[in-house]
Amino acid sequence: MRSKLTITAIISLFLSIHSYAQFNVTFQVDMCEQIALGNFDPATQAVFVTGGTANQTGNFATCGLAMTDADMDGVYDITQSYPDGYQVIYKFFIGAPGDAGTDNCDGTSGGYEPNLPAPCGFGSFSDRTYIVNGDDSTLPIVCFGACDACTTCDCDLILGQGTTSCDNFTSGEDTYTASFSFSQTTAPGAGTYTVTSGGGTVGGDDPNTMASGVITITGLAEGIGTALSVVDGAGCDLFQPLGPPACLPSFDVTFQVDMCEAISTGTFDPATQAVFVTGGNANQTGFYGDCGAAMTDGNGDGVYEVSQSYPDGYQVIYKFYIGIPGSAGTGACDGNDASVPGYEPDLTAPCAFGNFNDRTFTVAGADATLDVACFGSCDACTACTCDLILTPGTVSCNDFTNGTDTYDATFNFSQTTAPGLGTYTVTTGSGGTITGDDPNTMASGTIVITGINEGVGPNLFIQDGADCDLFADLGAPPCLPTFDVTFQVNMCEEIAAGAFDPATQAVYVTGGNANQTGFYGDCGAAMTDANGDGIYEVSQSYPDTYQVIYKFYIGTPGNAGTNACDGNDASVPGYEAPLVPCGIGQFGDREYVVSGADATLDVACFNSCEACTTCGPAVPTVSQWGMIILILLLLSIGVVYARQTQASIVTTNGFNLPLGQGLRMPFERHLYFRALLWTGAIACIAAISSLLIYGEITLVDIVGSILAAPIFTYLMHVLMIDEANKK
């Protein structure tokens, strides 16, 4: 009966393990027909196997893994693992390289195979399907979009999509050159190719003698498309059409915008912001969020300008945009940055054009410098005739106490003409003393207000009594004392679990206000482990009563002060999980309130409110136990040898005892068992200590102790023999 139960248990265990086993399924698709038709370009596109269950996400838009064509034969494959009995529902998808694992395979960037016919079409979307049958499988090669293998492309030659380049740019009829890349999966000579074109002269590399290269067609007439035919007379007839380029001359268009009204109203700060000309076709990208080129104010008169080149007849649709310096050519000008004003408001007649009331200009066969327009208006600025431009500067505290401190404020000015055209009166309504540069005698400079009381916002008035009355203000700074807060986190459990590698990763303290940026993606300062004990720390300064809300973060070294700690990097674990019970707020963050003194916070375990409990000092390894046993053996032999050597030089009735009769290992049975009791007691004490210190007793500890105990007992019993002999 027991034998039957054992066999049943073994079979159940086998079936249980088998049911959770993963099996490899290799998908294969032949892209040769799509390449020949120009629907797929291996140089610029990628192939994915995807679908609601192929990528095991339930999301058909997830691209899954990209397929590869290692031997360049046009057949792409990929291997994925699935549990036994799993029904894979999938299609092949042409998309963009680098989309593996993203949600970009939504049918807008190349797309899925069409609905497949019987017998391979399955379900409402006529997908492919395969059920894992308990073994690794390599599925048959199928043609993209078909149930069977490809039948119309037996070429060793792959012909890429072509490109064009104009030979001239005039208003007359120009010529252009077309280029087509090719590659062969076998050595040249497998086919005899005849290359012809629709117009122009065929040149470049010869597919009859070269494994890869570029075929060119020169002297093509502007406005007339061409096509390249490569025929071998057997089964490889390739055809690639190509449309003509517009070889029009380009002309420079200079855009100009007056920012004086935006400056005087505080909408635009030349010191911290930038102006761009952008729009769906001003930057020629079709993307309104592209900042295009930054405009510059070379002479400091508040008028910004930039020149861009466009072909003749091109209609430029554009607006001016206030954004962040350094964003030229990026996608940052999308109007979603709350820290900048963004686009001009919708313009009114007569300059408004289209649905968004943009500006517009059509290139008319010559370079053009557009009229200076006021930001947000069709006309020139009328409300700012000052020669003086005033901008807010900085504030700096003179003291940092818990009482009422004072601070200084600066304001910058510049003039578009020489000093003396206006007689300026400089006043302030915030108290303090006005010093610094005088706009009546200097073309540019800094006006300083000193001794302003903390809590009062600084402001500055400059008036000339005519039509130039300027005003600027700044916020009052909190002149509180600052204190150092030292953060500490123990990473030992993360290291032991393999979640953190000190050699390749870094630890940061970050959060919405720990880094004082208000942005949780800012990495803040990197923490360091100077003594290699697994405890990382860093000190940061905060004003008194500041509430620090923070978490620790595992990221990439070198990211300190960058915006890389946004939790979206799949290569790092990222933020700690929401903490309980010490977590506050919706994200379960850590918290500390500065209380008028420097502070070193308690060492916390990563992902925990408490200290680490499962990783103390390192327990002995197998090799270390071996070293312990060897030392005990050598120590036992050394004690016996020393004992016998000492005995050999003792004289009895004037005669020496003989030397050199070999090393004899003494053994007293009753003393050995007495020593064994002491060894057992010591082992019990060591076991209890190990549990308290390490939290566990490992198999290595047990085996090492069993091997070391008899040797330790023997050494103790030898010492007991000596003690008995002395008595």
User: Is residue 528 predicted with pLDDT exceeding 90?
Assistant: yes
Token code pair at residue 315: 């209609």
Q: How much is the pLDDT for 598? A: 92
Token code pair at residue 128: 């492919």
> Where residue 535 falls among pLDDT bands split at 50, 70, 90?
very high
Cα–Cα distance, 727 to 717 (Å, whole number): 15
Token pair 């339930």 is found at 58
Q: Which fold has domain 482-605?
A: Immunoglobulin-like (2.60.40)
User: Is residue 652 predicted with pLDDT exceeding 60?
Assistant: no
User: Is residue 20 predicted with pLDDT exceeding 60?
Assistant: no
Q: How much is the pLDDT for 2? A: 40
Cα–Cα distance, 330 to 291 (Å, whole number): 6
Cα–Cα distance, 215 to 167 (Å, whole number): 17
User: Is residue 518 predicted with pLDDT exceeding 60?
Assistant: no
Architecture of the domain made up of 250-374 = Sandwich (2.60)
Mean pLDDT along residues 210-228:
87
Instruction: State how far the alpha carbon of 537 is from the alpha carbons of 56, 485, 487, 533, 613, in Å.
Output: 41, 10, 5, 11, 19
The dihedrals phi and psi of 163, each to the nearest 5 degrees, come to -130, 160
Highest-pLDDT range among 46-60, 167-181, 386-400: 167-181
User: Taking the alpha carbons of 343, 347, 352, 355 in that order, is the dihedral positive or negative?
Assistant: positive
Element (DSSP H or E) covering residue 670: helix 669-694
**Over the chain, what is the mean pLDDT?**
78
User: Is residue 530 predicted with pLDDT exceeding 70?
Assistant: yes
The answer to whether the CB of 539 falls within 8 A of the CB of 484 is yes
Mean pLDDT along residues 241-253:
83
> Where residue 3 falls among pLDDT bands split at 50, 70, 90?
very low
| Amino acid letter, 376 | G
Token code pair at residue 481: 């004392």
Mean pLDDT along residues 231-239:
71
Q: How much is the pLDDT for 8? A: 42
Runs of H (alpha helix) within 148-273:
260-264
Token code pair at residue 586: 């919706």
Q: How much is the pLDDT for 93? A: 85
Q: How much is the pLDDT for 651? A: 44
Q: How much is the pLDDT for 698? A: 66
Nearest to 537 by CA among 606, 633, 607: 606
Token code pair at residue 609: 């409110």
CA 202-182-40 angle, to 5 degrees, is 120
In the chain, where are the structural domains located?
Answer: 2-143, 157-242, 250-374, 388-473, 482-605, 622-648+662-726
> Where residue 305 falls among pLDDT bands split at 50, 70, 90?
very high
Nearest to 102 by CA among 61, 73, 133, 131: 61
User: What is the homologous superfamily of the domain 2-143 according to CATH?
Assistant: Immunoglobulins (2.60.40.10)
Q: How much is the pLDDT for 449? A: 92
> Where residue 168 falls among pLDDT bands split at 50, 70, 90?
confident
Task: Please enumerate in sequence order all residues whose Cβ is within 8 A of that of 9, keeping only pairs 6 or more positions apart, or say none.
Answer: none
Region of poorest pLDDT, from 14-18, 479-483, 538-542, 687-691 = 14-18
Q: How much is the pLDDT for 98? A: 73
| Amino acid letter, 721 | I
HSE, side-chain direction, 13 A CA sphere, residue 245: 21
Highest-pLDDT range among 34-43, 70-79, 464-473, 620-629: 70-79
From the CB of residue 136, how many other CB atoms can be counted at a distance below 10 Å?
Answer: 13
Token code pair at residue 718: 């030898």
Instruction: State how far the alpha carbon of 270 is from the alpha carbons of 254, 300, 345, 389, in Å.
Output: 20, 10, 20, 10
Task: Please enumerate in sequence order all residues whose Cβ is within 8 A of that of 528, keeping only pairs 6 or more positions apart, or say none.
Answer: 536, 537, 538
Task: Please enumerate in sequence order all residues whose Cβ is within 8 A of that of 722, keeping only pairs 6 or more positions apart, or say none.
Answer: 643
Task: Please enumerate in sequence order all residues whose Cβ is within 8 A of that of 655, keeping only pairs 6 or more positions apart, or say none.
Answer: none
User: Is residue 356 predicted with pLDDT exceeding 80?
Assistant: no
Q: How much is the pLDDT for 644? A: 63
What is the percent of the chain with per-residue pLDDT over 70, rounded to a whole number?
74
User: Which regions of 613-666 does DSSP assign to beta strands (E)?
Assistant: 651-652, 655-656
Region of poorest pLDDT, from 176-185, 258-267, 335-344 = 335-344
Segment 178-213, tens digit of pLDDT: 999 888 766 676 567 888 887 889 999 988 888 888
Mean pLDDT along residues 273-286:
70
Cα–Cα distance, 376 to 300 (Å, whole number): 20
| Amino acid letter, 276 | F
Question: Do 250-374 and 482-605 show the same overall fold?
Answer: yes
User: Is residue 687 predicted with pLDDT exceeding 90?
Assistant: no
Mean pLDDT along residues 137-150:
90
Cis peptide before 350 (omega within 30 of 0): yes
- Return the higher-pLDDT residue of 72 and 407: 407
Token code pair at residue 372: 């200076």
The CATH number of 157-242, from 2.60.40, 2.70.98, 2.40.128, 2.50.20, is: 2.60.40
Q: How much is the pLDDT for 450? A: 93
Exposure letters 596-616 (e unless 16+ CB within 10 A, then b): eeebebebbbbbbeeebeebe
From the CB of residue 72, how many other CB atoms can be counted at a distance below 10 Å?
Answer: 15
Q: How much is the pLDDT for 519? A: 45
Q: How much is the pLDDT for 62? A: 64
Token code pair at residue 137: 């499988």
The number of residues in the chain equals 727
